């Protein structure tokens, strides 16, 4: 690329951002077009940070036109970002499902049996709803061969050209290609590199600017601003596990720099590989992905009293923004610094491919189990998205007065509701019931539905799902799978003993002893019903009772109630925080800490004893104690052949690219300081992550005063 091509872009950037290493703040810096002044990125963990490149001018052109199905509704779309092979495949299947179930007026291919369940959102007539919103889908992978694969799968699945064209592709060329060999450290480095440079649109070179602008600017200049975004990736891979956290970090930076106050809720969807302990690389990558997220949250845990408070997450990095002092007589005075935390995803769902290996007549192939997981994820994405929108946005049939009343009574979850009710890692439980289930009159139907949502995943034919079986159950095994299945089977047998049997508080005694249930502090659930059915108070009261019996330390329960969003009854339960204590997650975390830090060859029993002691100890957990135990820095490369040489090659290619394309001295100096080694985690980050695990381990419900008679 010639200097003539790149220099104007860098000059524009310099005028907006005062480029450099941001070691000091220019109080006379120029405001950007959104009205805010640029500041500097600061890491709470002492790590080098370089400002991302933001283009406020290109925001309006970055978002694809609204689908025709939304034109008469004004319903905000939601965003689905699939990164890496796994994320791309889920997003591709989601596109097929949307295509097969588009609203009337669209030509859609014949839906296959696995996508017919979605027609409950889109079909019209016979009292069924027609939800008129479609996702904005983006896929990204460092292995460029994924994009022809995605295109071919969508063509074969009948996805029309207009949808395929609107699925944006985040290319990593010319910075990287051919994948990163399941090494998330390299993916983090390449992803940040992609976000540090201006868009380059030169003939013969891939255009990665459009997709990147969508991620960084779509919430700045759009009438129909998305309120919900899903990032889908494999926790055990390379591109997805490494790229997803970096992309959301850049998005948080863009939101702060552009001074955008519009609220959005961001949730990661981390997919745990099948048989996680079989592949050691996937095992430690999963542990690293989870600890990276917990470190970015940066929970403040100074004393034992913090266990009784909602988690005080400070964020692992922040942006120092200059602001005018607002004190008396301060007009015209020098700027003062204000710290704006750069939070990662508001929450991250954990879904296990192993649990989605649903036993059928024969053992499922890897692709079949993965397809089950994809369908399960799609179900939860649409259920959570439906909880965002009023039923007034659905096509109605029937008594208008009744519909108006239901619209008024409906409970929705806006972005701030979700931020207050669902923060941090969470698991999903899901079940459905047919229209004629009679759950409005018989609480046994609610009990059965609740138990199915807690069961290991299975297929369930539900009337109203167009003859296609839904995947019900929990997204990750709370306990040893065989033992857990036995506990659930005992509960189901108790319920089926006779026609009058119902679950009692004593029924859940064994379930409550499992940390997943015992330590859960917050739950969000979403109830949907067919349009001509009702969700009476007895239904909600019984469900709340069952939840309280199963989760004894609940501090908060939030709910969404929606009429007419599905052609059957559905229940989605989102279980927060205690998912960190399930066996697969703990196995991944412990193996990562042992194999990627200085304890690699230590005695296993002593290592586990020390780790358990950290979980059980009272706060504070000091940075110094973790540094003494684990060492100062991550030693991830010890597991990767030729890691140092490969890192050197990445650094060399990056330096060559910057030297050739960046002529402004200060900016070039800052970019050249960016290296692969910066992606390695340090002991301060591990201490922050372990504080969150310690918090999750100790969660118990503070005692409430209930006996009002004592006051009189």
Model pLDDT, residue 203: 45
- Contact between 570 and 576 (Cβ < 8 Å): no
Model pLDDT, residue 12: 34
Which tens digit of pLDDT belongs to each residue from 147-179? 888 888 888 877 888 788 778 888 888 888 889
Averaged pLDDT for residues 302-329? 82
pLDDT: which is higher, 71 or 358: 358
Which tens digit of pLDDT belongs to each residue from 180-210? 999 999 999 999 998 888 765 544 444 566 6
Averaged pLDDT for residues 127-133? 58
> How far is residue 401 from each of residues 406, 531, 569, measured CA to CA in Å?
9, 13, 22
pTM for the full predicted model: 0.88
Averaged pLDDT for residues 319-326? 74
- Contact between 213 and 59 (Cβ < 8 Å): yes
Residue 267 forms beta bridges with which residues?
Answer: 230, 347
Mark residue 127 as left, alpha or beta (left: phi above 0; alpha: psi -120 to 50; beta: remaining): left
> Would you say residue 623 has pLDDT above 90?
yes
Averaged pLDDT for residues 296-323? 90
> Would you say residue 134 has pLDDT above 80?
no
Whole-number percent of the chain with pLDDT over 90: 42
Q: Spell out the SS3 assignment of 189-218.
A: HHHHHHHHCCCCCCCCCCCCHHHHHHHHHC
Instruction: Please give the full DSSP string across 571-614, using - where no structure is assigned.
Output: EEEEEESGGGGSHHHHHHHHHHHHHSSTTTTS-HHHHHHHHHHH
> How far is residue 592 from each of residues 73, 201, 242, 556, measured CA to CA in Å?
48, 40, 15, 32
Which tens digit of pLDDT belongs to each residue from 547-567? 999 999 999 999 888 777 777
Going by pLDDT thresholds of 50, 70 and 90, the confidence category of residue 108 is low
Model pLDDT, residue 404: 55
Averaged pLDDT for residues 650-660? 92
DSSP conformational letter for 56: G
Number of H helices, E strands in the chain: 23, 15
> How far is residue 12 from each of residues 19, 55, 257, 333, 395, measured CA to CA in Å?
10, 9, 16, 28, 48
Averaged pLDDT for residues 387-398? 60
pLDDT: which is higher, 29 or 119: 119
Separation between Cα atoms, residue 656 and residue 676, nearest integer Å: 15
The three-class DSSP label of residue 301 is: coil
First to last CA, the chain: 82
pLDDT: which is higher, 479 or 498: 479
Separation between Cα atoms, residue 574 and residue 577, nearest integer Å: 10
Model pLDDT, residue 11: 34
> Would you say residue 60 has pLDDT above 80?
no
Q: Are strands 470-474 and 424-433 parallel, antiparallel or unpaired?
A: antiparallel
Residue 426 forms beta bridges with which residues?
Answer: 349, 576
> How far is residue 568 from each of residues 74, 128, 206, 470, 471, measured CA to CA in Å?
25, 9, 45, 11, 14
- Contact between 353 and 85 (Cβ < 8 Å): no
Mean pLDDT of the residues in the chain: 81
Instruction: Please give the full DSSP string across 482-535, using - where no structure is assigned.
Output: HHHHHHHHHHHHHHTSSTT----GGGGHHHHTSHHHHT--EEEEEEEE-TTS--
Model pLDDT, residue 15: 37
Diameter of the chain by CA atoms?
Answer: 84
Model pLDDT, residue 467: 58
Whole-number percent of the chain with pLDDT over 70: 76
> Would you say residue 388 has pLDDT above 90?
no
> Would you say residue 704 has pLDDT above 70?
yes
Averaged pLDDT for residues 26-39? 47
Model pLDDT, residue 372: 81
pLDDT: which is higher, 496 or 387: 496
Model pLDDT, residue 187: 96
Mark residue 449 as left, alpha or beta (left: phi above 0; alpha: psi -120 to 50; beta: remaining): alpha
Going by pLDDT thresholds of 50, 70 and 90, the confidence category of residue 18 is very low
> Would you say residue 295 has pLDDT above 50?
yes
Domain ranges of the chain: 1-65+75-98+125-299+318-327+336-345, 397-581
Going by pLDDT thresholds of 50, 70 and 90, the confidence category of residue 31 is very low
- Contact between 523 and 554 (Cβ < 8 Å): yes
Model pLDDT, residue 403: 54
CATH 3.40.50.1440 fits 1-65+75-98+125-299+318-327+336-345, yes or no: yes
Going by pLDDT thresholds of 50, 70 and 90, the confidence category of residue 516 is very high
Q: Are strands 317-324 and 347-352 parallel, antiparallel or unpaired?
A: unpaired
> Would you say residue 451 has pLDDT above 90?
yes
Going by pLDDT thresholds of 50, 70 and 90, the confidence category of residue 575 is very high
pLDDT: which is higher, 591 or 61: 591
Separation between Cα atoms, residue 85 and residue 101, nearest integer Å: 25
Which tens digit of pLDDT belongs to each residue from 230-283? 999 999 999 999 999 999 998 888 888 887 777 889 999 999 988 778 889 999
């Amino acid at each position: 690329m010639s200097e003539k091509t790149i220099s104007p872009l860098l000059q524009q950037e310099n005028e907006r951002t005062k480029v450099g290493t941001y070691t000091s703040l220019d109080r006379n810096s120029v405001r950007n077009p959104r009205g805010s002044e640029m500041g500097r990125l600061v890491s709470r963990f002492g790590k080098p940070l370089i400002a991302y490149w933001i283009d406020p001018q290109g925001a309006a052109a970055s978002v694809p036109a609204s689908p025709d199905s939304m034109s008469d509704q004004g319903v905000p779309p939601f965003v689905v970002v699939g990164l890496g092979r796994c994320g791309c495949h889920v997003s591709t299947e989601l596109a097929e499902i949307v295509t097969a179930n588009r609203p009337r007026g669209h030509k859609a291919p014949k839906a296959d049996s696995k996508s017919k369940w979605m027609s409950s959102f889109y079909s019209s007539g016979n009292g069924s709803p027609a939800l008129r919103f479609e996702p904005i889908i983006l896929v990204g992978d460092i292995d460029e061969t994924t994009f022809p694969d995605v295109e071919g799968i969508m063509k074969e699945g009948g996805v029309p050209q207009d949808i395929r064209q609107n699925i944006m592709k985040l290319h990593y060329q010319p910075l990287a290609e051919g994948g990163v060999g399941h090494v998330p450290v390299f993916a983090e480095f390449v992803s940040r590199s992609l976000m540090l440079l201006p868009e380059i649109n030169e003939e013969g070179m891939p255009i990665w600017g459009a997709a990147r602008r969508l991620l960084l600017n779509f919430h700045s200049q759009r009438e129909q601003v998305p309120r919900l975004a899903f990032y889908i990736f494999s926790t055990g891979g390379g591109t997805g596990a490494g790229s997803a956290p970096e992309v959301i970090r850049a998005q948080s930076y863009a939101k702060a720099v552009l001074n955008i106050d519009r609220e959005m809720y961001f949730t990661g969807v981390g997919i745990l590989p099948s048989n996680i302990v079989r592949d050691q690389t996937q095992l430690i990558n999963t542990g690293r992905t989870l600890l990276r997220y917990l470190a970015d949250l940066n929970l403040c845990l100074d004393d034992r009293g913090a266990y009784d408070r909602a988690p005080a997450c400070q964020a692992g990095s922040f942006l120092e923004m200059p602001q005018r002092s607002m004190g008396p007589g301060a007009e015209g005075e020098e700027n003062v610094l204000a710290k704006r935390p750069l939070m990662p995803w508001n929450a991250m769902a954990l879904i296990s491919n192993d649990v989605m290996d649903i036993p059928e007549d024969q053992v499922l192939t890897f692709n079949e189990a993965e397809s089950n997981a994809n369908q399960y994820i799609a179900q939860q994405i649409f259920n959570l998205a439906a909880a965002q929108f009023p039923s007034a946005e659905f096509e109605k049939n029937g008594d208008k007065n009744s519909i108006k009343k239901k619209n008024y009574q409906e409970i929705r979850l806006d972005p701030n509701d979700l931020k207050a009710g669902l923060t941090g890692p969470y698991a999903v439980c899901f079940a459905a019931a047919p229209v004629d289930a009679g759950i409005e009159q018989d609480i046994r139907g609610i009990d059965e539905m609740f138990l199915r949502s807690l069961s290991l995943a299975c297929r369930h034919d539900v009337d109203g799902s167009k003859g296609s079986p839904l995947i019900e159950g929990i997204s990750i095994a709370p306990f040893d799978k065989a033992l857990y299945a036995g506990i659930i089977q005992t509960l189901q047998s108790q319920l089926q003993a006779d026609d009058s049997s119902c679950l009692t508080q004593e029924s859940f005694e064994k379930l409550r002893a499992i940390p997943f249930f015992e330590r859960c502090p917050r739950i969000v659930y979403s109830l949907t019903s067919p349009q001509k059915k009702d969700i009476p108070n007895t239904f909600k009261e019984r469900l709340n009772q069952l939840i309280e019996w199963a989760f004894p330390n609940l501090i908060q329960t939030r709910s969404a109630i929606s009429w007419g969003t599905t052609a059957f009854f559905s229940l989605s339960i989102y279980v927060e925080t205690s998912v960190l204590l399930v066996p697969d997650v703990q196995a991944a975390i412990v193996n990562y800490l042992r194999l990627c830090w200085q304890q690699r060859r230590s005695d296993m029993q002593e290592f586990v004893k020390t780790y358990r002691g950290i979980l059980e100890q009272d706060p504070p957990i000091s940075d110094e104690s973790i540094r003494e135990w684990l060492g100062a820095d991550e030693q991830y490369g010890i597991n990767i052949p030729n890691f140092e040489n490969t890192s050197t090659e990445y650094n060399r290619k990056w330096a060559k690219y910057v030297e050739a394309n960046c002529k402004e001295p200060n900016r070039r100096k800052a970019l050249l300081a960016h290296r692969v080694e910066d992606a390695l985690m340090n002991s301060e980050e591990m201490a922050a992550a372990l504080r969150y695990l310690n918090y999750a381990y100790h969660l118990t419900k503070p005692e409430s005063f209930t006996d009002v008679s004592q006051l009189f």
